[in-house]
Amino acid sequence: MPAAHSYVTTLADKVLRHKRQQISLTVRALLRGFGYERRTETVVDTIAAALHTLGLDAALSLVFPHSLDEKVTISTLNPQAPTVSPAPALPIVQVDLRVAAARALPATVAVQTDSGIGSGFIIHPDGLVVTARHVVEEDGSSLRSVQVTLMAGSPNERTVEGLVVQSHRQLDYALLWLLDDGPFPTLPIGAPQMLAHGQIVLTIGCPSGLHNTVSHGIISNPCQFLGGIEYIQTDAAIDPGNSGGPLIADDGVVGINMWILMGVGAAKFALPIDYLADEIVQACTLGRAACLAAVYCPACGNLDLAPQTWFCRSCGMRFTPHEDLAVALAT
């Protein structure tokens, strides 16, 4: 029998001490106890197997509980319980390439700075755009204002200003609002935790400035753990200029194209979109005006909704009037 995970030992002690021999904790806490941030099929199976080594069971599946902040019950296995046959494996869903491309192209944008060009995609009709932080970064700090080209190559092509409102250094994502009236075409958000090996996916972006470039490939690994981050690994062709663009499955965008491992064809990496699910919900709930009125830290990417101070409450960076463009725009 394999050795029990140290966290399982801790859980088992708490369960056995409880009079009902069960405890509850959030899905997020359970995942982090085992060293994970995302819930995937592999992660769920791994946790279940680890719990079983000490006679524990969790009411956890890929889709239940729905939210990572909902609670899951850990209890002792009941040897008298009837054996339940496992559910049949889900078939791999293959995306209809033409339909997916036609749906995604209008919502995919080019993000232009003085340093170069990257890609992004719109997820809210009022103009909330997702891209990569390194696309909007210069000299280690995030820009506040960038140029965003919509509907490139079509009669409706136009370039509008976009203001960055939140970003993350390690995860390398950024959110920005377009300073123009919508509604804008949007990409639906898919479920990266449902991806499977061999599943067909699309990428869209502007490699070397070539707008509306579509490529496709397969999922090489739906959960590749590198540098403390779980990436989606594919063999889809991406190049400089694709960064920040969407990785698309049949149900919508599942990841943000980020980087490649040179010399390895099946080593293109995208950040799963659910890494920034909370930030997307917050930005959509607040709306464009409230996000732009808040203070944005170009160093760490924090969006501060509290009254302005002379320093960033997240990283401690000092703000000066010429650096704090959010305040300048609001005055």
Q: Using one digit for the tens of pLDDT, what is the confidence trace for 126-167?
A: 999 999 999 999 988 999 999 999 988 788 899 999 999 999
Q: Which of 126, 142, 167, 172 is catalytic?
A: 172
Q: Using one digit for the tens of pLDDT, what is the confidence trace for 55-107?
A: 888 888 887 887 888 888 898 875 443 344 444 554 544 557 888 898 899 99
Q: How far apart are CA 4 and CA 239, in angstroms?
A: 43
Q: Which of 220, 243, 274, 324 is catalytic?
A: 243
Write down the pLDDT at residue 309. Answer: 84
Ordered structural domains, the chain, with CATH: 6-76 (no CATH), 91-292 (2.40.10.120), 294-331 (no CATH)
Q: Of 327 and 178, which is predicted with more confidence?
A: 178
User: Is the pLDDT score of 311 beyond 70?
Assistant: yes
Q: How far apart are CA 121 and CA 253, in angstroms?
A: 9
Residue 243 a catalytic site member: yes
Helix ranges (DSSP H) in the chain: 6-17, 27-33, 41-52, 97-104, 277-293, 325-330
Q: Which of 5, 134, 168, 211 is catalytic?
A: 134
User: Is the pLDDT score of 203 beyond 60?
Assistant: yes
Residue type, 167: S
Residue 45 a catalytic site member: no
Q: Using one digit for the tens of pLDDT, what is the confidence trace for 210-266?
A: 999 999 999 999 999 998 899 999 999 999 999 999 999 988 999 999 999 888 889
Would you say how long the chain is, in residues?
Answer: 331
Write down the pLDDT at residue 82. Answer: 39
Three-point CA angle 125, 129, 134, nearest 5°: 180
Residue 5 a catalytic site member: no
Q: Using one digit for the tens of pLDDT, what is the confidence trace for 20-37?
A: 788 888 888 898 888 888
